[in-house]
Structure 1
């Protein structure tokens, strides 16, 4: 049976192989989060309009666009949501398997810009010391800020 499958696979060639792979595998949205810090070590938190009311505070987060490098996603998302410019740094989290979402998180450093919120997505923004975070903060984001594994590992 394995030989037959291998022959069929080789006979398919190029685009047909890709179509079979596309149908046979999971499709994921890629959510990218940034742990953005300023030169004082404070972290940028946003109160998101679309998030549940009891936990609207979180890190800047958005979805990667097709062909976009994940580090560039957080640079783009922070600029779109806040008007601030950041430089993405070290990858701090990577996980797939939450339904059809893969999660990626980077450290990021504030490098400039002027705070101007996107009122459609963001209700409020603030810089917080890691030991003085607001109520209603996403638990996984608190763990990222503190340098802990959101998966408990």
Structure 2
């Protein structure tokens, strides 16, 4: 890229646990990460704040309405046209019906055993497991 400029694409995600400690996850239906499991999220649209984008993405991908809490952490991942800068927020479900939508092939509450299986079989998006471990945000059940 001219002058070494790298295009940065702002994205958000919602780290959401249910009352049993399971983690809300989606199986991606499209690239990047098609077929892999991750936390729900996506690009911030022009004019959106992070909380508005997180709420929209979770509603579109999972059918759930959430309240947005604290920033859990951020990561940078390669994108075809630059870098994804992903800001992940802690969320709490306040309504809606769980169903896959938009960019999700499947959506589920994942417990620690199922998460371990997804990790061992390489079905998680790149870097997700170590990042969630570092942030102490793995499934708790």
Q: TM-score, normalised by structure 1?
A: 0.68
Q: Structure 2 stretches of 5 or more lacking a match?
A: 137-141
Relative CO higher for 1 or 2, CA cutoff 8 Å, sep ≥ 6? 2
Map 1:74-85 → 2, pairs under 5 A: 74-85=54-65
Q: 1:127 to 1:102 in 2, by over 3 A?
A: same
Give the superposed CA RMSD: 2.6
Which residue, 140, 144, 150 being the options, matches 2:127? 140
Q: Structure 1 stretches of 5 or more lacking a match?
A: 1-22
**Which residue does the alignment assign to 1:46?**
26
Which of the two has greater helix per residue? 1
Q: Distance in 2 between matches of 1:127 and 1:26?
A: 36
Structure with higher Rg: it is 1
Cα distance, 1:83 vs. partner?
A: 0.9
Q: Distance in 1 between matches of 2:114 and 2:93?
A: 19
**Which residue does the alignment assign to 2:89?**
106
Q: TM-score, normalised by structure 2?
A: 0.74
SS in 1 for 2:58: helix
**Which residue does the alignment assign to 1:32?**
12
